[in-house]
Amino acid sequence: MMVFKMHSRLQCLLCFKSHLLYRSSFYNELNFHQRFLCTKVLSMHDYVDDKIRNFSIIAHIDHGKSTLADRLLEFTGTIKKSATNKQVLDKLQVERERGITVKAQTSSMFYNVTKSISCLFNLIDTPGHVDFGYEVSRSLAACQGALLVVDAAQGVQAQTVANFFKAIDAGLTIVPVINKIDLASANVANVCKQMESTFDVLSEEIIKVSAKEGIGIDKLLQAIYEKVPSPKTSVKEDLSLFLFDSWYDVYRGVINLVTVKNGKISKGDKLQSVHSGATFECLSLGILHPDECPVNTLYAGQVGYIVTGIRDINQTLIGDTFHHVGKPVKPTPGFKQPTPMVFSGIYPPDQDSYIGLKKAMEKLCLNDSSVSMFPDNSAALGQGWRVGFMGLLHMDVFRQRLLQEYNADIIVTTPNVPYQATLKTQSSDVRKEIRSPQEFENQSKVNCYFEPVVIGTLVFPEQYLGKIIELCENKRGQQLLLSYIDDSRVLLKYRLPLNEIVIDFFDLLKSVSSGYASFDYEDGGYIETDIEKMEIWLNGKPVDALSTIVHKTKCLALGKSYCFKLKETIPRQLFEVVIQAAVRNKVIARETIQPLRKDVTAKCYGGDITRKRKLLEQQKEGKKKLKRLGNVDVPHNVFLSLLKL
């Protein structure tokens, strides 16, 4: 146990003021001694060398990562045990509403191994959904170990396998864990066999826990201390900070989350970036416990945040290395920028809000570095951006965070995957990137097109094998592997075109497997393909925002679907609206929205029939003029209705 000297009443009040400044929802339930412990008097020097464990929790979605993190925080006394402790590290509003983790979160814990030995645990809770795999990769770079969590009822799933290999590739020590052993449907013995055959772990090494009930958490903490190695660092060497996450604070600027590879950093130190060469001062620093807790110094092996007052977002690069000014160090290998899987146009509702939206998106991209932005322009929507995402859920979460965190409403166009083309004027190995339908090159100028593919991993019960193979074949898939995890569960690998799976594949897969199948994928490069640009015309005028790139075999079906959906969603006008889908200026599908009609003969009571005919002819001519001159406004909900076609 740590011993503290008595401090003056003034010092205590200052510490309590610091507590109020950070407005921690957790600290309200802690006693004054715990609050005092979590302020500037906390000495991190006691936790160096072999007294540090940095680890992450990885698992398939909904296997209990966040609940397990709650119990670890409670058992180490980091937060007070309470029935309200549910997904404590899921701090974003979008995470609370959706019930999923979309952002990796860090928390430091102090674990008393024995009465005389205390250890610093740095935990990183990671997302489970495949769209946020880059968050997992970045988190693992700051760790030496990983808790591989598997649901005792669902068993090994596709993302369990994917995350396991990510951890192995990062050189981490794996601590296998079976969660939810309290469930009536739990089959611990069978899940142990699955983990033995899939991950080559021994049954006696697997820790059995119930995160919900707190069963086995003490054994898991002891296993973390015994199995996860301490970081190989040295306090005596020159300072080296590795930046693996950041976010923007309106008052303090960019806040960087770092792991101290070597040396130590204190408030007032002069730092320099290896990436940009910029110099700045460390204004404050601390640990996340689980909210911000200021400390005087961070030492080698520890994880914490630093505030430098940086306002220019472009000066911050995830994967950068910081060092003391005048003491350069070898940069830590950074992260490979992820390849966007889906591109979509993002535009402000009106051009007056363009600058404000740009600042909001840049700040959000600082916190989500897997998003890529390119300036774009549309004849229909004005200035905007072509934005790359890791998937459709990632895109929807980005839109929701913009609205919730920055009050920024946006128009999102139909998503497309990135294609490539070799032009006839170029060498066959020089390819042009096609990120939007507006960049699509006419076939007369192109030798061949290429589309991205993924290597998909599917895990499901054997009785759904026929239906899932049929689904993959309908999506133009190519089977690579079929094997059995155990007597009743199948692992299937397919090469699938990204365009075929990014929109509705998850929904169809859950439907044909009654919700029992899981799916994960990784980049599989590009293959030659036959694609077309499909345009949507409204009264003969093309609408750029509704154009899309599709495979030649899917043009007719998708064109009919688009026209029918637009007919249902576009409001009726005073004139006839003709909706057409066209490929190479040839119409392949058509729908018509009939005009609203005013009864111009309502006031004609009897009399000569020629009077009524004259009024009807005048109305007909007026509608023709409106059709020539009138514009058809396409509401925002129309774009949203087309996303799943």
Is 66 annotated in some ligand binding site? yes
Is 163 annotated in some ligand binding site? no
Please provide residue 393's backbone torsions phi and psi, each rounded to the nearest 5 degrees.
-65, -40
Closest among 180, 172, 167 to 207, alpha carbons compared: 180
Closest among 474, 432, 436 to 449, alpha carbons compared: 432
Is 607 annotated in some ligand binding site? no
Cα separation of 410 and 575, whole Å?
29
Cα separation of 525 and 338, whole Å?
13
Q: What 3-state DSSP class applies to 258?
A: strand
Tokens 């009465």 correspond to: 115
Q: Is the peptide bond before 290 cis (omega within 30 degrees of 0)?
A: yes
Closest among 128, 163, 105 to 367, alpha carbons compared: 105
Q: What 3-state DSSP class applies to 167?
A: helix
Is 178 annotated in some ligand binding site? no
Burial label for 214, CB within 10 Å (0-12, 13-18, 19+), is middle
Is 129 annotated in some ligand binding site? yes
Q: What 3-state DSSP class applies to 68?
A: helix
Is 126 annotated in some ligand binding site? yes
Is 59 annotated in some ligand binding site? yes
Cα separation of 16 and 32, whole Å?
8
Is 324 annotated in some ligand binding site? no
Amino acid at 439: E
Cα separation of 333 and 173, whole Å?
20
User: 186: which 2 tokens?
Assistant: 């739990």
Is 127 annotated in some ligand binding site? yes
Closest among 280, 245, 316 to 91, alpha carbons compared: 245
Element (H, E) at 196: helix 188-199
Cα separation of 12 and 4, whole Å?
13
Give helix 158-169 / helix 188-199 axis angle, nearest 10°. Answer: 40
Is 182 annotated in some ligand binding site? yes
Is 169 annotated in some ligand binding site? no
Q: What 3-state DSSP class applies to 328?
A: coil
Cα separation of 156 and 102, whole Å?
21
Cα separation of 286 and 258, whole Å?
10
Cα separation of 344 and 248, whole Å?
24
Binding residues: 59-66, 125-129, 179-182
Binding-site residues for GTP, in ranges, read 59-66, 125-129, 179-182
